Structure 1
Amino acid sequence: KFHACCAINHSVMDVVLAATGGRRLRPEDVRRVEALTTSRWEAIGQREPQNQLAAKFALPFAVASALVRGSTEVASFQQAAVDDPTIRQMVDRVEVGEDPAYTAQWPEHFPARVTVDLADGTRLEAATLDPRGSAENPAEPDDLTRKFLELTAGALQPDGAKPAWAKLTTAASASDVNELTQALRAASR
Structure 2
Amino acid sequence: HLKVGDQVLIGKKPTGTLVTDNLLPGKTLWLLSTGTGLAPFMSLIKDPDVYERYEKVVLTHTCRFVDELAYKEYITDHLPAHEHIGDLVRDKLIYYPTVTRESFHNRGRITELIDTQKLFADLNMPPFSVENDRVMLCGSPHMLRDTRELLDSLGFKEGSNNEPGHYVVEKAFVG
| Fold match (TM-score > 0.5) | no
Which structure has more relative contact order (CA 8 Å, sep 6+)? It is 2
TM-score, scaled relative to structure 2: 0.25
Is the radius of gyration larger for structure 1 or structure 2? 1
TM-score, scaled relative to structure 1: 0.24
Q: Which has the higher helix share?
A: 1
